[in-house]
Structure formats: C-alpha cells, structure tokens
Amino acid sequence: MNYLELNGFAGDWHTEVQGRPGYTDAGKTAAGSSVLSNAPSLGLQPDWETSPFHFAQLLAPKLSVSGSAAGCIYTWPGYKRPEPSTLALYTYPGDGVQGATSPYLYVFGFGGGAGEGRLSDASLTGPSGPIAVNVIDNHTAGAAGYLPPGGILSPAEPLEDDASYTAQVTFTSDEGLQAVKRWSFATGELGAASEPVGEAEPDDSSSGTPLPSGRTPRMALALKPSRAGARLTISAQGAAIGRTARLTVQRLDCKCRPTKRTLKLTKTPRRIDAKGSTMKVTVSLSGFYFGEIPYRGLTLVRTLS
C-alpha cells in the first residue's frame, strides 16, 4: 500500500515496478496475491462486502492462512485448508442468518477434489415473490481466475429491509461433481471528506480503452439540512446509471446504529430524507465491468455538522 500511495494509486495495483518509489520485492509478491482498497488513504474502512470479487476471495472455504495491512489482505496463497472427502456448498449469507446486509449472495464448493465449475438453476424468493438473479461463476467472461470454485448471485433488484429470503443453486465442478444448496436468511436494516462528485477510474490502464467521457461512471452526492433533519440527493452519470450502490447514514448526534440500504443509481436525482441534525453519509459503488473494461469502486462521503 505504501507503493500505491507514493505512486498516486496509478497503474496496475497488483504489481510493483522496480525503480519506482516504494518498490520492494516483498511488496510485489503481496500485490499479486492480495485484495486491495484505497479506502484507508481517504480515512475510511474498506467495505469488502460491496466488492464481490475481493470479498469472494476472503470467503473462500479453503482460506486458512492470511495476513493484512490497512487496505490489503493476503488471500489465495493461504488456500491451505485440508479438503473434506465429499463436496459441500458454503454460502454467504449462511443458512439461518439474521440481519444480513450483503447486496450479493456467494456460493462456493469445497471438498471431494472439486475445482472450478458452473452455477445453474439459481433462484431467489422474497416476500414479494421470485427475484431474478444474475449468475457469475468461474466461467463467466471477465471472472475467470478471480473466484474460488463457485461464484456469486447478484439480485436484479435491491433486497428489501427486514425481510426473509430463500435461495437455491446447483454447483457442477469441471470434474463432474455436483451439489445442490437451498438456504434461507433474513436482511437487516438495509434501509432503516470526499468531493461531492466522483468518477470511477479503470482498474488497469492496460486493460482497454477508457470509456468516452459521456459514459464514464460518475456519482454525485449532496447533503443539506431540512426541517425534519437532512435531505440527501444522489444521482449518477454514464455507466454508473442502473448500478446498485450502498448508502450508509451514521448520525453523529446520538449513539445510534448506522442506517444502511442499497439503491439503484439513476440519472434523475433521488431524494432521501434522514433524521438527525448532524450525520455522516457514505455512498459506495463497488467495482464492475463495462464490456471488458474493469472499473474500480467509488466512494463518496458527505458530513453535516
């Protein structure tokens, strides 16, 4: 992380170039074997939960040895846990979990010698009925090599607050092993010093041609006092439109739990009223692919005091 800070977080985060400020052999090894976040450089804690490719590596059932520094956690070289004799599926959120806040569902196969594979027959049912899910697995374009055996289920719409859900999916390994998992969980209060406008940058300058300026992912966040407390205004531009962001409101005038929710970003400003006279508001957009170009996550923070 020292190397990234000294070089302005420019270029490929997952390597170090000899001769540049902060280069070390150990740093180069760690860069290629870790999940990384620049949140600490902004005075924030990394929100791994909203960065699915990063979080997936941290959830890998085979991960048993790791190490960390601010914004950096060592992952796949620590996949040393002995495998059970038979294939089993492990999920996040887990079966029976209450108060889940993850915008994504994770399913990983472990045991019996199973390697990478595919997810199929995925379903998710909530209080209003079935919800479409987008499936990302080991053979999804752009995801190859980034996930433990299994993958991610991304709901097509934000999950409701304080609601119960049941999910099911089948994992078939490339070796032909197969397992089915059905589980239930309940969501929690999902809804209960950055610049006001932010722009997501390509994850690797060598990965492709940047989007035209009119399609560059951008978010805008404004926070103003109102009679009831405060009014938040959130909008998006370019490829950020239609993507799901995480909103966290932390009141500073009481010892209250932070209020969290997920919402789809729109070009038309969305207005949300919040109680409290002083607060810190954070909006996070996790990294995503636009075509074959990966874009880093983006976090905006506003404070009302």
Task: Report how far apart the first and last C-alpha atoms of the chain are (Å, whole number).
Answer: 32
Please state, in angstroms and rounded to a whole number, the distance separating the CA atoms of residues 128 and 84: 38
Q: What are the residues whose beta carbons fall under 8 Å from the beta carbon of 301, sequence distance 6 or more?
A: 42, 44, 193, 194, 280, 281, 282
Separation CA 106–CA 142 (nearest Å): 17
Q: What is the pLDDT of residue 189?
A: 55
Tokens of 47: 């929100």
* Residue 60: count of CB within 10 angstroms of its CB: 21
Length of the chain: 305
Task: Identify the band that residue 296 occupies on the pLDDT scale cut at 50, 70 and 90.
Answer: low
Domain map (residue ranges) of the chain:
2-78, 88-186, 197-304
Question: Token pair for residue 115?
Answer: 């390697």
- Domains 88-186 and 197-304 in one fold: yes
| Cα angle for residues 14, 295, 99 (degrees, 5° grid) | 95
List the CATH code of the domain at 88-186: 2.60.40.1220
Q: Name, in order, each residue with C-beta under 8 angstroms of 202's C-beta and a sequence gap of 6 or more.
A: 208, 210, 293, 294, 295, 296
Half-sphere exposure of 44 (CA within 13 A, CB side): 20
pLDDT above 90 for 181: yes
Provide the pLDDT for residue 293: 57
Distance CA 170, CA 279 (A): 43
pLDDT confidence of residue 131: 93
Helices of type H across the chain = 2-6, 25-31, 52-59
Q: At residue 138, does pLDDT exceed 80?
A: yes
Name the residue with tokens 């940058």: 201
Note the pLDDT tens digit of each residue in 226-257.
887 888 899 988 888 888 888 999 988 888 88
Distances (CA, A) of 196 to 6, 193, 240, 301: 25, 9, 15, 8
Query: What's the chain's Rg over C-alpha atoms?
Result: 20
For domain 197-304, give the CATH superfamily. Answer: Immunoglobulins (2.60.40.10)
DSSP 30: H
Average model confidence (pLDDT) across the chain: 84
